[in-house]
A and B are shown apart, each in its own frame.
Chain A
């Protein structure tokens, strides 16, 4: 079984300042990890993914995340927030167990960007 914990339900930053959204996971298998973003009234869109290659992963819109196995973490960062980054962000663990694929979503982090 796997689980995902997003440590902050809400994060508020000023435009131009760094963003840090925290995600911890647990899994009995070697997982793939994803970050998705959801803008209001929209479906989820992939930001980036980790699939056992490089531990520092770069995604769209200047976001990146670092996979730290020893800390079981996959935190999402961006050096400088933009107003358009305001959205809800989901960390996702994916495990393929033979014939099935299991995905577990975190409860989400709402990012507010202040002018």
Chain B
């Protein structure tokens, strides 16, 4: 089954404790992206990757890191989480060949609380 898998789905942590949210897709998609969803703000892009070893900042990259060492994986790293990073996070992927017309496939989300 084609899917985007995120882990963990729920996490409560404390300020400053490094954490990683993993994202894996099994559709051989080149494009992967991370979003955060906050009430009334829709989804805002954190980072995206057009292919392996190619990453770029989205609209709200501060406080986050990503890596793309393999095509299927795109982990989101919070080196020193702060309470304003409490949010619902989504990973998504699509084919680059579809340029801007391709459907984004979303994971089910990771709800992060930073105390």
Is B44's beta carbon under 8 Å from chain A? yes
B100 touches A96 (CB 8 A): yes
Q: Which residues of A contact B109 (CB under 8 A)?
A: 41-43
Kindly list chain A residues whose C-beta atoms are within 8 Å of the C-beta of B90: 43-44
* Residue in B4, B48, B108 whose CB lies within 8 Å of A101: B48
Chain B interface helix/strand/loop/mixed: strand
Interface: B99 (CB within 8 A): yes
User: Is A32 on the interface with B (CB-CB < 8 A)?
Assistant: yes
Query: Which residues 72-115 of A sit at the B interface, judged by CB distance below 8 A?
Result: 90, 94-96, 99-101, 103, 105-108
Q: Using C-beta atoms within 8 Å of the partner chain, give the interface range for chain A.
A: 20 to 34
Other 19 A-B pairs with CB < 8 A, given A43-B4, A49-B101: A6-B42, A32-B101, A34-B103, A34-B104, A36-B104, A43-B106, A43-B107, A43-B108, A44-B43, A44-B92, A96-B100, A100-B48, A101-B48, A101-B50, A101-B100, A103-B104, A105-B42, A105-B43, A108-B42
